[in-house]
């Protein structure tokens, strides 16, 4: 039990190689330049003061670097979690009040503690409750919701409301109140960013840059847009007469130490949202971390990731931030820029701290419209139609979970959406197992194989009905099997032996055991014996323990072939006996 197991930093710091330093330094500079406008933008999205975004990009990075297992993950404010934060704390207090910020701090604390507990208890598998289609539907719909919520900043209008139809309706109502200078800045930024996104990298490559360098330069697009817009506003003083909203004065200095509230009612109010934010943040972060680690044949430990993200959120709560997690674009940039170890993240944190102390006056004239434009362009890349098309093609149930999740997010908000998504995907799974595939089987001529009579031309024996059930038996499908067996035997009155093939039955719960007893009793009343074959070891152990084999009217065979041999011999003997009696 070495401490390095719980604090990976002890391991990588000790083994740090000089050769890793240049990559880590360059990556930290690039990520810092990218992260500053992102922090301000995501704080805006969360309806929090801009400095809160910066504070959430300092100590959480250090905490993750100490406790996290991914080398390239860049932690900080991200779009989806910011939206969820806005939704969670919006109901607690009005934006701009101290209570509103206090709620954000507590939200980060509870999320952090929850992640930490999951990690220490090694319960990371809970994140598996979110299926890929649910995550895809959730992220796509959240991205649309985020983009819609930022339109107000682009147009310089005021809208409240968190649901898509509310937002769209309010935009339509206030289209006359648009601030045209703000709109000009916003639309120009959007156009520029979309151009950067779609065309800059190929153009640069044509001009002779390497692919990697061209991609990195394209990633700097938002920074250029923010810079240009800020300079324009500062020069032309659009904030005065034209009424363009700007970031304004940010208190300079290191993050404050903050003690989240201990008010029990506030805890109770925030726990559900905090748990959802923690799980969503974890799932998003761990997928990024895993895909980056795989590219360099490194491994991440999901349970250690929980500890790292938990520590990051607790750090955010104690230093004026709000919930954070690993960001996709930012981590990719960190990785591509050459980050070799978590030292890159530590250096990024120091650079952001320096910026917070010395550079805040430079952010004064930054227009909110350009920040909103960077958010919109970033999130629209998250809208994922490919997964929907693929799921629709592969399995309608998966497509339904995806669509249900997305629709609920758009219509009722992120929390309802994700809960409905989990509910629907579990419900559809249970539905699928509630009507198991069953097959009457017969012998493939000349072999010991027994296959579905509907799919293969096989030999059956009169008097013997062999049914393979392709599902474990448990309370949800127990009665279905009862009905199925009753119907089959009613259709074939000549049957004397019913063979249940258990090769796909991985367990039988107490309810299904009762159903098996009922089936046995009903078959016995109808003069039919119930036999079992190919019962798996663990299932048989359990059946023996409660003496099921004693009141089984038939036998337990090792294989279906053996059952057919013994039983068809048996039925011939019975027939001979009957004939002898005549």
By CB under 8 A, name the binding residues for a second copy.
125, 128-134, 294, 297, 390-391, 393-395, 397-398, 425-426, 429-430, 432-434, 436-437, 448, 452, 455, 470-472, 474-480, 503-504, 506-507, 509-511, 513-514, 522, 525, 536-538, 542, 545-546
Phi, psi torsion values for 124, nearest 5 degrees:
-60, -25
Q: Minimum CB separation from a second copy for residue 243, in Å?
A: 44
Nearer to a second copy, 80 or 428 (CB): 428
Cα gap 552→539, rounded to integer Å:
15
Strand, coil or helix: 463 = coil
Q: Are 244 and 185 in contact (CB under 8 A)?
A: yes
Q: Minimum CB separation from a second copy for residue 312, in Å?
A: 22
Buried b (16+ CB within 10 A) or exposed e, 481-490: bbebbeeebe
Nearer to a second copy, 85 or 515 (CB): 515
Strand, coil or helix: 339 = coil
Q: Minimum CB separation from a second copy for residue 470, in Å?
A: 4
Nearer to a second copy, 261 or 395 (CB): 395
Nearer to a second copy, 17 or 299 (CB): 299
Nearer to a second copy, 393 or 575 (CB): 393
Query: Which residues are CB-neighbours of 184 under 8 A, at least 6 positions away?
Result: none
* 75-76 and 497-501 strand pairing: unpaired
Nearer to a second copy, 565 or 572 (CB): 565
Residue with tokens 């719909």: 141
Nearer to a second copy, 203 or 522 (CB): 522
Q: Minimum CB separation from a second copy for residue 504, in Å?
A: 5
Maximum Cα–Cα distance across the chain: 114
Cα gap 312→56, rounded to integer Å:
9
Nearer to a second copy, 28 or 140 (CB): 140
Q: Minimum CB separation from a second copy for residue 453, in Å?
A: 13
Residue with tokens 């152990």: 541
Strand, coil or helix: 26 = helix
* Start-end of H helices in 174-263: 180-195, 201-206, 211-219, 221-236
Query: Which residues are CB-neighbours of 421 under 8 A, at least 6 positions away?
Result: 130, 134, 137, 138, 401, 404, 405, 408
> Tokens at residue 358, please?
């010395």
Q: Are 152 and 171 in contact (CB under 8 A)?
A: yes
Q: Minimum CB separation from a second copy for residue 130, in Å?
A: 8
Q: Minimum CB separation from a second copy for residue 515, in Å?
A: 9
Neighbours of 191 (CB within 10 A): 12
Q: Minimum CB separation from a second copy for residue 45, in Å?
A: 29
Nearer to a second copy, 162 or 509 (CB): 509
Nearer to a second copy, 211 or 435 (CB): 435
Q: Minimum CB separation from a second copy for residue 564, in Å?
A: 17
Long-range contacts of 493-496 (CB under 8 A, 24+ apart): 494/462, 494/463, 495/463, 495/464, 495/465, 495/528, 496/463, 496/464, 496/527, 496/528, 496/529, 496/571, 496/574
Cα gap 532→467, rounded to integer Å:
10
Query: Which residues are CB-neighbours of 436 under 8 A, at least 6 positions away?
Result: 469, 470, 471, 477, 480, 481
Cα gap 329→305, rounded to integer Å:
18
Q: Minimum CB separation from a second copy for residue 332, in Å?
A: 18
Radius of gyration of the chain (CA): 31
Q: Minimum CB separation from a second copy for residue 445, in Å?
A: 16
Q: Are 560 and 499 in contact (CB under 8 A)?
A: yes
Q: Minimum CB separation from a second copy for residue 478, in Å?
A: 7
Long-range contacts of 239-244 (CB under 8 A, 24+ apart): 239/365, 239/367, 242/179, 242/181, 242/182, 243/156, 243/179, 243/181, 243/182, 244/156, 244/179, 244/181, 244/182, 244/185, 244/367, 244/369
Nearer to a second copy, 62 or 408 (CB): 408
Q: Minimum CB separation from a second copy for residue 454, in Å?
A: 10
Report the candidate in 115, 43, 33, 55 with the shortest Cα–Cα distance to residue 79: 43
Nearer to a second copy, 171 or 422 (CB): 422
Q: Minimum CB separation from a second copy for residue 119, in Å?
A: 16
Nearer to a second copy, 534 or 555 (CB): 534
Nearer to a second copy, 352 or 512 (CB): 512
């Amino acid at each position: 039990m070495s401490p390095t197991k719980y604090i990976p930093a002890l391991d990588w710091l000790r083994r740090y190689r000089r050769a890793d330093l240049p990559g880590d330094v360059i990556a930290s500079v690039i990520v810092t330049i990218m992260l500053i406008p992102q922090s301000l933008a995501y704080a805006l999205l969360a309806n929090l003061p801009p400095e809160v975004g910066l504070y959430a990009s300092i100590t959480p990075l250090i905490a993750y670097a100490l406790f996290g297992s991914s080398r390239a993950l860049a932690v900080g404010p991200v779009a989806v979690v910011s939206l969820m934060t806005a939704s969670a704390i919006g109901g607690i207090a009005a934006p701009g009040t101290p209570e509103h910020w206090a709620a954000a701090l507590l939200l980060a604390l509870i999320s952090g503690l929850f992640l930490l507990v999951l990690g220490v208890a090694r319960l990371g598998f809970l994140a598996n409750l979110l299926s890929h289609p649910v995550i895809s539907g959730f992220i796509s719909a959240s991205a649309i919701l985020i983009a819609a919520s930022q339109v107000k900043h682009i147009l310089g209008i005021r809208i409240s409301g968190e649901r898509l139809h509310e937002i769209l309706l309010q935009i339509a109502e206030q289209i006359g109140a648009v601030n045209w200078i703000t709109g000009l800045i916003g639309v120009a930024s959007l156009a520029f960013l979309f151009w950067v996104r779609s065309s800059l990298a190929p153009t640069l490559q044509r001009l002779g840059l390497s692919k990697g360098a061209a991609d990195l330069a394209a990633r700097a697009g938002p920074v250029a847009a923010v810079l240009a817009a800020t300079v324009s506003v500062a020069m032309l003083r659009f904030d005065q007469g034209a009424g363009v909203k700007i970031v304004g004065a940010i208190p300079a200095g290191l993050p404050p130490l903050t003690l989240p509230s201990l008010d029990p009612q506030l805890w109770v109010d925030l726990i559900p949202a905090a748990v959802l934010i923690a799980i969503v943040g974890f799932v998003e972060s761990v997928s990024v971390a895993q895909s980056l680690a795989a590219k360099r044949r490194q491994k991440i430990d999901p349970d250690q990731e929980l500890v790292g993200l938990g520590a990051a959120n607790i750090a955010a709560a104690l230093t004026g931030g709000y919930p954070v997690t690993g960001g996709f674009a930012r981590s990719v940039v960190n990785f591509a820029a050459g980050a070799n170890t978590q030292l890159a993240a530590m250096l990024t944190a120091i650079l952001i701290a320096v910026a917070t102390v010395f550079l805040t006056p430079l952010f004064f004239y930054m227009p909110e419209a350009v920040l909103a434009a960077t958010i919109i362009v970033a999130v629209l890349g998250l809208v994922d139609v490919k997964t929907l098309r693929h799921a629709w093609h592969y399995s309608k149930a998966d497509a339904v979970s995806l669509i249900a999740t997305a629709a609920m997010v758009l219509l009722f908000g992120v929390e309802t959406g994700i809960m409905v998504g989990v509910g629907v995907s579990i419900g559809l799974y249970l539905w699928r197992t509630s009507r198991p595939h069953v097959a009457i089987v017969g012998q493939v001529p000349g072999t010991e194989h027994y296959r579905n009579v509907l799919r293969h031309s096989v030999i059956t024996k009169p008097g013997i009905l062999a049914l393979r059930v392709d599902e474990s038996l448990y309370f949800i499908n127990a009665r279905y099997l009862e009905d199925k067996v009753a119907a089959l035997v009613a259709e074939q009155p000549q049957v004397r032996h019913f063979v249940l093939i258990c090769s796909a039955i991985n367990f039988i719960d107490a309810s299904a055991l009762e159903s098996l007893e009922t089936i046995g009793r009903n078959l016995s009343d109808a003069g039919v014996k119930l036999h079992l074959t190919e019962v798996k070891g663990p299932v048989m152990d359990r059946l023996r323990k409660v003496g099921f084999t004693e009141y089984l009217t038939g036998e337990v065979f090792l294989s279906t072939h053996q059952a057919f041999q013994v039983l068809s011999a048996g039925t011939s003997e019975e027939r001979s006996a009957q004939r002898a009696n005549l």
